[in-house]
Structures are given as C-alpha cells and as structure tokens.
C-alpha cells in the first residue's frame, strides 16, 4: 500500500475504541488524510454506519425497547411510527445525497451512470487496466527500453479510453491543471488559464491554430471562443475525438474547431501549414520530447509561435530520496507517462529542434496559488465517487474494472498532491517559442 496511504490509514487500523463514545468519536473525527484512498474512506463509512446504529441503539433505547408501563399495543404503535419516521428521514437523506451531493459531481456533462470506456468493451475493462498497469508499473529503465513504441502508444490510448469519462465526470472537459486564482472557481481559473494560452501565441480570427494532444477539447473551445481563430486538435484517442466533436457541436463551435485522431509524433499535416500551435500538458506522454517538438516545428509556418506547458520535476527533486522517487513514480504511473523530464529540458529541447525560446517560466510559482488544492478534493468527494462507482459496478451499470481504474486515479492524486506540495514537481512549466522566419 502506498506510503501516504499507510500513514493516513494508521488510525483506521489502530486498536478498536473501547466505549461507544470513543467508538463514535473515533469514527466521526477520524482525520482521514486528504490523500487517503477510498478503501480507507469506505472503512470510515463502515464505522460511521456502525456508529450510527450504535447511536440509535443506545440513544433511542427507551422507545425501541419495551418498558413496564406501556401496553404491548402502545409499544407496537410506537415501534411502527418510529420505524416510519426513521425510514422517511433516511430516505430523504438518501435522496438529498444522490441528487444534490452526488449531483454536484455530475454537473460537468458526464453522468456516473453512463461512464464509458471508449474502444475498450465493458467486459475487457479489468483486463485492459491490468495490461496497462503491468506495463507502466515496471521500472523507468524497462519502460524507456521498451523499443516497441507502438505498444507504448497503444497503452496511452488504452489509458485514455479508461479514464476520459472519469476525468469528465470528476474534473470537467479540460484535462489539465491550472494555477488557482483567489476568489475564482476552479472552472473560472481554468478558463482564464486557457485564454492566456491563446494570448501567448496572439491567436486571432482567420488563423489556423494546432492543438497538440487536444483531449476532449476543453482548451480548444475556450481558445476558439476567445480568439476567433480556427483550431485543429489532434489526439491519439478515438474516443476523445468523438467526445470533442460532440462538445464542439453542442457549443456551436464545430465550424471553427476540428478534431482528428492521430499521433503527434507523425502528424497528418503538411509542412508550414499552421499559424500557431499550443500543447497543454500533453507532450509529457512522449518518450522523447524532441520527437514532438520537431513535428510541431515542421507544421508551423516560419515566424509562427508555439506555447506549451508540461509536467516536469523541479530542482527540488532528489533522486536519492525514496519519498521523492515514490511520489514521482506514482505520478508517472497514474498519468501513463514514460518518464518526467527535468524542468530545464523543455527549453533545451525546443532549441535543439530549431525553435527560438522567447520565454521560460514555472507558472505554478507565486503569485499563483497552489494548483494542487483542487486535486486534494475533500475526502468526501473521493469516498462519494468511489462509493458510487462501486455501487454502479455491483449493479452492472458501470463496467466492473472501473473500480480499479478509479482506485488507480485516487492513488495518482495522492502522489501528485504530495509532489506538488513538496515542490519537487510542477505540471505548469511553460515555454513560449517561435519558428525562425526565413532569412531573406
Ligand atoms: C495532464 C494529465 C492529466 C491531469 C489531470 C486532468 C488528471 C490527473 C489525475 C486525475 C484525477 C485524479 C483523481 C480522480 C478522482 C479519484 C475521481 O473521483 C474524479 C476524477 C479525478 C479527480 C481525476 C481528474 C483528472 C486528473 C486530475 C495527464 C498528463 C495525466
Ligand atoms: C492530459 S490530456 C490533455 C488534453 C488537453 N490538452 C487538455 O488540456 O484538456 C493529454 C492528451 O494528449 C494526448 N496524447 C498523448 N499522447 C499522444 C500522441 N502520441 N499523439 C496524439 N495525442 C497524444 C492524449 O490523447 C490526451 O488527449
């Protein structure tokens, strides 16, 4: 079990409390570490239920149990009315929970009851997740040495088949982190961040801009609406292409936003065919960063701008510190990344393929607020989502393997949060580049 989880779980597996008040106290104030995994939260829910039942038993004992001065008929009537009232209260709480509390988790356009897994059939989810996990759980060296690039790429597509709907349902249509902004919702901060991307490359009407690794098109739609430019997005995931096209159509942006399925290492676009390009937290999937940057360089017109932000380790990362190594490996595994590069490598690689680097900055640094606050969702959110997926899987509404996929993401979130808090990792290392103009 993950170290962070072990620490968080210590209280859960500690010696059972002796008295009821201690039992209740233990359950209700158990500080389930925000990075805990849902199995801990689930045992918390078990405790809460037990505490609730214990509370009901001890607190309502006179009503529930016969006493000498009531006739059997009165006691039966009291039992019935208590049971009715209890059922009504519990029922109302359940409706409130599933409609309002859970509803907030589903407001983003994807409902938990129709979590799909792209090209992975329902009965294959568990096996596909096992195959994916067995590939990415190996050592960095083994993954890097895996010369079968096709297999690696297809595992990335499998990853996004498995997680795209959970991402949309539990995060939204923009699959990236953004700096938090005081007084702004996460959604507003994400939109503001995406508009900054458009402004960085001076995207404007009449231009044709490339979105490298476009996901389901969250950034694409913000940038198209903000800049007036035409956007072409490319993603390795066929399922994301269909989701992005559906969102573009609903947003009325399908006239200016196009999505193609393809490998950003060998893009189906002619040389010098784009007026600008951006890549939001997607190049980190490439085994060699130069392969992506070289392709972007090829399809950009001379003088065009390219901006990218990506996942990197920072100068605070200590490869000799087991806790750092575990957090970074957990981040890589949970994000289907072959390896995280060091912060300075982005600009160096861009120069290597011929770009002029105009700006290089970690956008996560102050005055930006921590990007990981959103990821450290309340333990209730993790528990709520895991409970819902577990119930839906038992009811055969969600594919059985979805529980393992969700658990993988819970663990990934714990590693990413830890890596963010310790400053050894940033997902927001930005470089702004220009393809040199042709010398007269
Ligand atoms: C840039 C990448 C993805 C970045 C993020 C969009 C996602 C990274 C980890 C994801 C999540 C972790 C925990 C999930 C939670 C358990 C679930 O209940 C709801 C969805 C999560 C919050 C999910 C959302 C998307 C992420 C934050 C690539 C390079 C991986
Ligand atoms: C974390 S998502 C980010 C998506 C989008 N940029 C956003 O911010 O919402 C990473 C994206 O990169 C895409 N991707 C990864 N490897 C790819 C490859 N070799 N070719 C094309 N797309 C790839 C994935 O399909 C996914 O859409």
Q: What average pLDDT values come out for the chain (440 residues) when binned by 10 residues?
A: 38 39 34 37 44 42 45 61 74 56 50 83 90 82 71 88 95 95 92 98 98 98 98 98 97 97 98 98 95 98 98 97 96 92 98 98 93 81 90 91 94 95 97 90
The per-residue pLDDT for 67 is: 44
The per-residue pLDDT for 380 is: 78
The per-residue pLDDT for 325 is: 96
The per-residue pLDDT for 63 is: 38
The per-residue pLDDT for 73 is: 52
Q: Is 427 helix (H, G, I), strand (E, B) or coil?
A: strand
Q: Is the CB of 117 under 6 A from ligand 2?
A: no
Q: Whose CA is nearest to atom 20 of ligand 1?
A: 170
Task: Kindly give the distance from the C-alpha atom of residue 57 to the centroid of ligand 2, in angstroms, as a whole number.
Answer: 54
Q: Is 209 helix (H, G, I), strand (E, B) or coil?
A: strand
Q: Is the CB of 136 under 6 A from ligand 1?
A: no
Write down the ipTM of this complex: 0.99
The per-residue pLDDT for 152 is: 75
Beta carbons within 10 angstroms of residue 358's beta carbon: 13
CA distance 96 to 244: 32
Cβ-proximal residues to 18 (8 Å cutoff; 6+ apart), any chain: none
Beta carbons within 10 angstroms of residue 87's beta carbon: 10
Work out which ligand 2 atom sits closest to the CA atom of 263.
Answer: 20
Model-level pTM?
Answer: 0.80
CA distance 307 to 291: 16
Q: Is the CB of 170 under 6 A from ligand 1?
A: yes
Task: Kindly give the distance from the C-alpha atom of residue 380 to the centroid of ligand 1, in angstroms, as a whole number.
Answer: 16
The per-residue pLDDT for 53 is: 47
Q: What is the mean pLDDT of the chain?
A: 82
Q: Is the CB of 313 under 6 A from ligand 1?
A: no
Cβ-proximal residues to 178 (8 Å cutoff; 6+ apart), any chain: 186, 189, 190, 192, 193, 194, 371, 428
Task: Kindly give the distance from the C-alpha atom of residue 439 to the centroid of ligand 1, in angstroms, as a whole number.
Answer: 44
The per-residue pLDDT for 259 is: 98
CA distance 283 to 338: 11
The per-residue pLDDT for 382 is: 84
Cβ-proximal residues to 156 (8 Å cutoff; 6+ apart), any chain: 236, 285, 336
Task: Kindly give the distance from the C-alpha atom of residue 413 to the centroid of ligand 1, in angstroms, as a whole number.
Answer: 7
Q: What is the dihedral of CA 200, 186, 164, 126, to 10 degrees?
A: 140
- DSSP secondary structure string, 240-256? HHHHHHHHHHHTT-TTT
Q: Is the CB of 239 under 6 A from ligand 2?
A: no
Q: Is the CB of 215 under 6 A from ligand 1?
A: no
Q: Whose CA is nearest to atom 28 of ligand 1?
A: 335
CA distance 189 to 344: 26
Q: Which residues pair with 429 in a beta bridge?
A: 310, 362
The per-residue pLDDT for 81 is: 77
How big is the CA angle at 10 (ends 8 and 11), to the nearest 5 degrees?
95
The per-residue pLDDT for 327 is: 97
The per-residue pLDDT for 72 is: 54
Q: Is the CB of 260 under 6 A from ligand 2?
A: no
Q: Is the CB of 235 under 6 A from ligand 2?
A: yes
Asked whether the CA dihedral 348, 353, 354, 360 is positive or negative, the reply is: negative
Do 221 and 257 touch, CB atoms closer than 8 A? Answer: yes
DSSP secondary structure code for residue 129 in this structure: H
Helix axes of 238-250 and 149-170: crossing angle, nearest 10 degrees: 40
Q: Which ligand is nearest to the CA of 244?
A: 2
Task: Kindly give the distance from the C-alpha atom of residue 235 to the centroid of ligand 2, in angstroms, as a whole number.
Answer: 5
Do 207 and 229 touch, CB atoms closer than 8 A? Answer: yes
Q: In angstroms, how far is CA 16 from the centroid of its own chain?
A: 35
CA distance 113 to 49: 25
Q: Is the CB of 190 under 6 A from ligand 2?
A: no
The per-residue pLDDT for 104 is: 45
The per-residue pLDDT for 71 is: 60
19 burial (CB, 10 Å; 0-12 / 13-18 / 19+) is exposed
Do 216 and 240 touch, CB atoms closer than 8 A? Answer: yes
The per-residue pLDDT for 82 is: 75
CA distance 26 to 18: 10
The per-residue pLDDT for 162 is: 96
């Amino acid at each position: 079990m993950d170290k962070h989880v072990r620490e968080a779980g210590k209280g859960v597996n500690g010696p059972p409390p002796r008295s009821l008040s201690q039992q209740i106290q233990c359950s209700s104030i158990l500080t389930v570490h925000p990075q805990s995994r849902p199995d801990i939260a689930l045992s918390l829910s078990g405790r809460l239920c037990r505490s609730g039942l214990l509370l009901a038993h001890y607190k309502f004992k006179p009503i529930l149990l016969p006493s000498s001065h009531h006739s059997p008929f009165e006691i039966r009537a009291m039992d019935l009315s208590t049971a009715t009232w209890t059922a009504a209260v519990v029922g109302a709480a359940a409706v409130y929970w599933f409609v309002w509390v859970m509803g907030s988790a589903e407001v983003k356009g994807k409902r938990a009851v129709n979590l799909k897994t792209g090209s992975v059939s329902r009965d294959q989810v568990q096996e596909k997740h096992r195959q994916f996990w067995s590939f990415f759980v190996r050592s960095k060296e083994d993954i890097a040495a895996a010369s079968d690039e096709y297999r690696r790429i297809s595992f990335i597509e499998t990853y996004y088949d498995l997680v795209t709907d959970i991402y949309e349902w539990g995060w939204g249509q923009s699959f990236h982190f953004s700096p938090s902004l005081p007084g702004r919702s996460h959604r507003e901060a994400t939109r503001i961040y995406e508009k900054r991307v458009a402004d960085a490359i001076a995207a404007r009407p009449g231009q044709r801009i490339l979105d490298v690794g476009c996901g389901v098109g969250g950034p694409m739609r913000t940038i198209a609406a903000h800049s007036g430019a035409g956007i072409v997005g490319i993603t390795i995931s066929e399922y994301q292409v269909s989701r992005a096209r559906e969102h573009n159509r609903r947003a009325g942006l399908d006239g200016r936003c196009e999505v193609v399925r393809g490998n950003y290492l060998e893009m189906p676009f002619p040389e010098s065919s784009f007026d600008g390009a951006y890549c939001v937290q997607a190049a980190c999937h490439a085994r060699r960063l130069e392969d992506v940057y070289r392709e972007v360089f090829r399809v950009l017109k001379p003088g065009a701008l390219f901006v990218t932000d990506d996942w990197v380790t920072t100068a605070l990362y200590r490869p000799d510190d087991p806790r750092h190594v575990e957090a970074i490996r957990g981040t890589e595994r949970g994000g289907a990344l072959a390896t995280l590069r060091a912060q300075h490598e982005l600009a160096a690689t861009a120069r290597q393929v011929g770009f002029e680097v105009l700006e290089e900055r970690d956008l996560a640094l102050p005055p930006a607020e921590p990007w990981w606050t959103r990821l450290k969702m309340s333990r209730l959110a993790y528990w709520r989502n895991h409970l819902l997926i577990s119930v839906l899987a038992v009811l055969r509404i969600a594919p059985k393997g979805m529980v393992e996929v969700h658990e993988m993401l819970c663990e990934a979130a714990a590693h990413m949060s830890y890596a963010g808090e310790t400053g050894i990792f940033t997902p927001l290392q930005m470089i702004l580049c220009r393809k040199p103009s042709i010398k007269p």
